[in-house]
Amino acid sequence: MIKTLAVVGATGAVGQIVLDEIVRQGLQYETLRLLASSRSAGQVVTVAGRDITVERLARESFAGVDVVIASTPDEVAAEFIPWAVEAGATVVDESGYFRMDPKVPLIIPEVNAEDVDHHQGIISSPNCSTTQMVVALKPLYDAAGLKRVVVSTYQAVSGAGLAAQQELLDNTQARINGQPLGPKIFQHDIALNLIPQIGSHKQDGFTSEEMKMVRETHKILGDDTIAINATCVRVPVLIGHSESIYCETDQPLSLEQIRELFRNAPGVKLIDDLAAQQYPMPRECAASPDVFVGRVRKDLNHPCGISFWCVSDNLRKGAATNAVQIGKLLADRFANVLS
């Protein structure tokens, strides 16, 4: 059990789901503190039937705190996380600021839970698109190795925040009414449209989102020999990222072996019956903590080639669920120390 748990960004979209996941997963604590910006300080939030007043985030907020789960922008994380670590807390950070720091483990509990033991006060949770892909690839990697991954993502607007969801709804209605609105959050109007850019230009024509998928996957699996090529696309979906994944393993696997690996993989649910029109779709997968896999096929021309479709709620497993799972790993460590 964690003595004092703090949630930073508790009133934000992901922070609210973190609180829901704490209850759903049964993360045990003695005291829960909620921290947010001065705009949200003073609000009362109900967690597991108890009303808790949100406190303003400040340097002195972390006295006596054991574990922090933080859902904030990079610039906020960069400022406050050193305060928390200095006060003796362990921080589970959902921002991207520390992910590629070699001193900071990047954790997906179904994939590399053991790395949590190597933290120095900070543990990062990966990018949402990386998380679902790696959860799905892990059983294939363990069984037959991985040489190559080609992934195309179809990412929901909720990855850009609550205002982005509202922009999709407003712009879609306006376009249907023949009065299109200009984009505010996205580079182009997202209504009834696809935008093949998520993030900024990074290198050689790839975006920052695409390079995150490459670098974070290498770090999580501890294997930078895997050739990874990503294309990330924003689509007019409210919640739930979808990915078309093609990979080549080191050793061939039969189609039934592949399906059996997915069936038995932690955190993965297989929905794969094309004849019955059964496969994962983002609307049906929203609000679930799992990673869904379907449309599983063997490459017709390569004995080690595998194609599949992967869907997950980007606000759940892609963010809040994963962070709380890491919190449970820490709680287990504390329990082992006390025993």
**Residues classed as catalytic:** 128, 241
- The pair of three-digit structure tokens given for residue 282, joined into one six-digit string: 């983002």
Place of tokens 């709620």: 313
Would the CA dihedral through 48, 70, 135, 291 be positive or negative?
positive
Query: C-alpha distances in angstroms, 50 versus 23, 31, 45, 199, 295?
Result: 12, 11, 8, 39, 44
Residue 54 backbone dihedrals phi, psi, to 5 degrees: -75, 130
Q: Bridge partners of 248?
A: 148, 305
Question: How many CA atoms, within 13 angstroms, populate the side-chain half-sphere of residue 33?
Answer: 20
- Secondary structure (DSSP) of 189-216: --TT--BS--S-EEETTEEHHHHHHHHH
Give CA–CA dist 183/189, Å, rounded.
Answer: 5
